[in-house]
Each structure stands twice: as structure tokens, then as C-alpha cells.
Chains A and B, each alone.
Chain A
Amino acid sequence: MKPISTKLSVSLCIAAVAALMAGCASHGVKNPSGVPVTHLNPDEQGFVAGTGPESQDLVTVADKMARSIVGIPQIANAATPPTIVLQPVENQTRFPINKDIFLTRIRSQLNTKAQGKVMFLARKQMEALEKERNLKREGAVTASSDPGVQEFKGADYFLTGSLQGLSTRTAAGTSDYILYDFHLIDARTSVMVWEDSAEMKKQGLEDAAYR
């Protein structure tokens, strides 16, 4: 029989070491070996998520809009492909974002999938285009056609939109609703010939330590 104090001593040593080892582990760095790069489809929600617009929303919204635009009679039945100019989207939500990314994806979808049913005008590059045309007119560079003829196309339609939001924050969490609205405006008549929208609602609650 070992004396009781020896038993106590051994037990306490084990308990102390166990407790302190646990304590040390909590001081350690999370994922000390790092996390390998995870490939995700842009339309799936990753493990990093907020309540604002994210890539899966962009993909869903842009795809829906592109499909919707290409089906309207003004485009589907047009004798010649209508020309479209992108106008900036207005962000009315509480989330600062690169809002033009929605139009970029809609344009990209239409250019790749609509088989030339619509054409987009590169108005953002007008300065460079005018400079190039002037160089051709001056004879400083070669031209494959008569540079004196006005060939820059005018817009048949303007494509624009807005992101509008409703946000709520209470002790129960944060809720964000975003309405993505896009419309096509006839440049000649100002008639809105097409409009479609998509909605997203997200809710989340942060850890109590942040409340």
C-alpha cells in the first residue's frame, strides 16, 4: 500500500499536466499547417459567408437576367442585332460593392450564349477609340476603310439596374434582403422595354462575444 499522500501527489501531477496541456493547446495557432486552397464553383456558398452580395448571388442573378433579356421580342425577333450600352448600376444597399460586376457578367453571358443576337458598344473605351480614329484621319496610321466615315454605332438600348436593400439588426441577428433589378431602356423612345428582378434574403447571428 502506497501512502495516501503519494497517491494524491501522483493524481494531482496527472491532473495538473492534463489541465495545463489543455490550456497550452488553447494558446496554439489554429490550423498551424494552413488550409489548402479549396476550389468552389462560383455559384455555391463557401465556408466564408456574410449577409451581403456574394459570388453565388452574382451568378444566379446574372444568369437569370441574361436568359430573360435574350427572350424578349425586341431582341429575339430583331432583323439586325440591337446595340446595347451599359449604364452604371446604382447601389442602394448598405453593402459597398463593385456593382458593375453584375453588368459585366450579364454582358459576358449574352456575348457567349446569345450567338450574336445582341451587340454591346464599348463606350468605356471611347477616348481611345476616338484617338485611334483621329490618327487614321490624320494619316498617321493605316486604315482598312475610309476613316472619314462615321462608323461608331449609336445605342438602341441602355442596360442598367439597381441594387436595393432592406436590413434589420436585432438581438436575434442580422437580416439583409436585396432586390437586384435590371432594365433595358429604348434609347430612342425612353420606353423601358424589359425589366426583371431577383431577390436574396440572408440572415445571420454573430457569436455572443460580439454582441
Chain B
Amino acid sequence: MKSLWQPTLLAGLLTLACCAATTQQVALTGNVMVDGPNAMANGPPRDRVLWEYRTAAAAMRQGNFSLAKQYLDNALLTLGGIYGKDPNAKKARGYFHGEAKKTFIGEPYERSMAYIYRGIIYWMDGEPDNARACFRSAEFEDSDAENRQYAGDWVLPDYLDGLATMKVGGDGMDAFKRAQAAARGIKLPPYNPKANVLIFLEFGPGPTKFATGQYGEELRIRTLPPTVASAEMRVDSLKIPVVPTDDVCFQATTRGGRVMDHILGQKAVFKSTTGAAGNLALMGGLTTAAVSGDRTAQEVGLGIALAGLVGTIVSGATVPAADTRTWDNLPQYLSFACLPLPVGQHVVTVQFLDPSRRVLANLTKTIHLNITTTEHDKVVFVSDSSVTPQTL
């Protein structure tokens, strides 16, 4: 029996050596604008889209829209070409790798947000039809929810789809009606053909992921109580209340189960069953070998113990853990306002309010707008974590 320690020790050493040789860890500073490019360059390729998402969002809040565009375009290229065989995804489905082995493209709410951000930038660049394409893709990503009631139920993408259609000479009312139908307790403002300033707002902490279950096989979404619940905008002397149009946390938590949840559930059952059977066989076999005086019985006992050991090793190597990689700098709420402003200088002040409607003074943003023409839309993006003041 003593010699059984040799393979066990060897296996342990090899495991350690194996892990040490292949783990690509990137030291994080907490600053996404530093960590993102570093992780994209030196981290695991499977996390690249995750960092592109995060860095793009951070860049937008810093007013660096060209950088955000670059990262979002890269991420959306990966997202749009994910069809068919994918060796990393195959590994993620296998017993011996966690779900996080797959190339990250995010859950549908994250994919939708990537398209929404890219749509905003397209509109900024004077391409409302390509912006509309992104808003349509945002709805599309949400369109196969297990619970059909919540399929394609983002409000803002549909509303903006209609607005963009109107801007390029179409009607847009179909999309408006879809948006109004999905809006929960909000009456959406009718489109104003003269509105040339579009203001996108986002605020509050977005959803994050965590895992529950015996082996962390159940993906869960954590939503924090809203710290920012609404906003108030002042444009020159005009005061505009801003209520949330979309709740990203709602979108994250209403899709129902995934196909991958079923696979992870099977992995957990396999791990549990092989582990229990392995332990039982190992203990039973060793006991038989130890107490029996008969050589044949001892050999049979050792054989059973060996099978049990294999079962235990297989169980130990099975990884049913859900993928909890999260686009962790998403907002909770999205909102939008548009208004007509004449050519000239204007000042937009956005105050964010807590759930008790108290102004969170440290989050107030100021944007100096220079409208040079009313022929093209001026697009403003304001987050509760945007830099301030901004000049656009």
C-alpha cells in the first residue's frame, strides 16, 4: 500500500507544475484605463472581450469616444462571429474545465449594452442608420429569453430605433409603439423632429455575477440597492426631470435559465456522483483488503479501492463552476432626453438624485455645448461617473 503514495505525490506535483506554467495572471491596479490595455495585451485571450467592454465604458465616461469605439468594434467583431465550433467553448462544456474557459462575450444583457454604447457613438459620428443597426442588435441579443415575456424588452433601443428612422426620413412609429409597450410605468415622449440635441444618461451601480450551489455551478446576478435613482437636467434655463428608461439589473435577472445552466447542472451531478461512489469504493476496498486474511479477497479489495481512487480523482478534476466574469462597470439605469437647441453656446447641468430625491452634489456634471449647426444632431453622453466639466 505504501507504493500508492508515489503516483499520488507525482500527480500532485504535476498538477502544481502544470498550473504554475500556464496561468496568465495580470496585476490589477483598479484603474480600468490601465488594467484594460494591460489585460488585453498580457492576459488570457479568452478575457479580451471582457476587458474591451470594461475599457470602452470607462473611456466613454472620460469622453474618449474614439478609444471606446475601437474597443467596442473589436468586441463586437468577436461577438458577431461566434457561430459554429469553438474549441474553448467545447472545453467549457467538458467535465474538466469551468465555464470560464470559454471566450467571454458576456450574457445577453452585456452584449446588448455593448451594442447600445456603440450605437451612441455611431450617432455621435453622424451615422444614425448605423446607430439604429446597433440598437436593433441590442434588442436582438435579448430576443431568445427563456421567458418570452422578457424577450427583446429593452425600451431605449426600440425608442432610439424609431427616432433614428424618423431622422433618416422614415416613420419610426412601429418602434416607438414597441418601446412604449415595454416601458414599465413610463409614458415615453413623442418624437420631436426638431430635436437636434440628444442626451444619453446612465447612473447607478450595475449588476454583477456570483455563483451558488455546492460547486458554484449556479450563476446568479447580484443587484445592489440603487444609490442613484433619477436625475435632473438643466439646459440653459430649462429644467428637465430624468427618470430611468431601462434598468440593466432588470434585464440581467429576467432572462430565465440558459442552456449552459443545464450543462453545469449535469457536471455538478457527475462530480457529486463520482465523488460519492469513489469514496465509498475506496473506503470499502481498503477495509476489505485490510481485514481479510485471504489473498484473493485482498486483491479484490485493492482493485475496488483503485477504482474508487480513480473515481475520486475524476470527481476532483470535474469543474462545474459557472462563469462569473462580469462587465462590472455597467450602470443600473439608462435614460435619454432630446431637445431642440439653437446654434450657439449652451450649458447642460446634470444633477443625480438618490432614491429620496436628494441631490448627490458630488456627482453633478457640467457640459458646455457648442452647437454649430442644427442640420446634424449633437450627441451627449453623461454618466454619474463621467469626467466633468466636458466641452462638446
Contacts and interface: CB of A to CB of B under 8 A. Distances in A.
Contacts of B71: none
Contact of B81 (A6, A9, A48): A48
Interface stretch (A10-18, A77-85, A110-118, A150-158): A10-18
A4 B105 CA distance: 51
Nearest to B13: A20
Contact of A99 (B10, B99, B129, B258): B129
Interface size class of chain B, counting residues whose CB lies under 8 Å from the partner chain: 35 or more
A171 interface: yes
Interface in A1-42: 4-6, 8-9, 12-13, 15-17, 19-20, 23-24, 26-30
B191 interface: no
Given A27-B18, A209-B86, A210-B102, A94 B10 contact: no
Interface in B33-49: 45
Given A30-B87, A209-B89, A52 B129 contact: no
Contacts of B306: 8, 12
B140 A167 contact: yes
B7 A16 contact: yes
Interface in A133-166: none
Contact of A8 (B4, B88, B119): B4
B133 A94 contact: yes
Contacts of B299: 4
Contacts of B8: 16
Contact of A13 (B7, B99, B129, B132): B7
A170 B96 CA distance: 29
A23 B313 CA distance: 13
B7 A12 contact: yes
Interface string B64-87: 000000000000100011111111
B229 to A, nearest CB: 32
A8 B137 contact: no
Contacts of A170: 144
Contacts of A6: 3
Nearest to A9: B3
Interface string A81-106: 00000000011111111010000000
Contacts of A9: 3-4, 6-7
A9 to B, nearest CB: 4
A93 B76 CA distance: 16
A93 B86 CA distance: 27
Contacts of A29: 45
Contact of A94 (B7, B140, B168): B140
A204 B84 contact: yes
Interface in A167-211: 167, 169-171, 173-174, 204-211
Nearest to B15: A20
Interface residues of A, number: 47
B113 interface: no
A73 interface: no
A169 B140 contact: yes
Interface in B299-318: 299, 302, 306, 309-310, 313, 317
Contacts of B137: 94-96
B140 A208 contact: no
Contact of A211 (B18, B122, B129, B259): B259
Given A17-B14, A169-B143, A206-B83, A95 B7 contact: no
Contact of B93 (A13, A15, A95, A207): A207
B10 A13 contact: yes
B387 interface: no
B83 A20 contact: no
Contacts of B76: 96
Contacts of B132: 91-92
B184 to A, nearest CB: 23
Contacts of A208: 89, 93, 259-260, 263
Nearest to A211: B259
Nearest to A6: B3
A51 interface: yes
B197 to A, nearest CB: 23
Contacts of B143: 169
A27 B83 CA distance: 23
B6 A13 contact: yes
9 contacts: A12-B309, A17-B14, A24-B21, A30-B88, A97-B133, A205-B84, A206-B89, A210-B89, A211-B144
Q: Which 3 interchain pairs have the tightest Cβ spacing?
A: A204-B83, A207-B89, A12-B7
Interface of B: 1-4, 6-8, 10-11, 14-15, 18, 21-22, 45, 76, 80-93, 96-97, 99, 102, 105, 118-119, 122, 127, 129-134, 136-137, 140, 143-144, 168, 258-260, 263, 299, 302, 306, 309-310, 313, 317
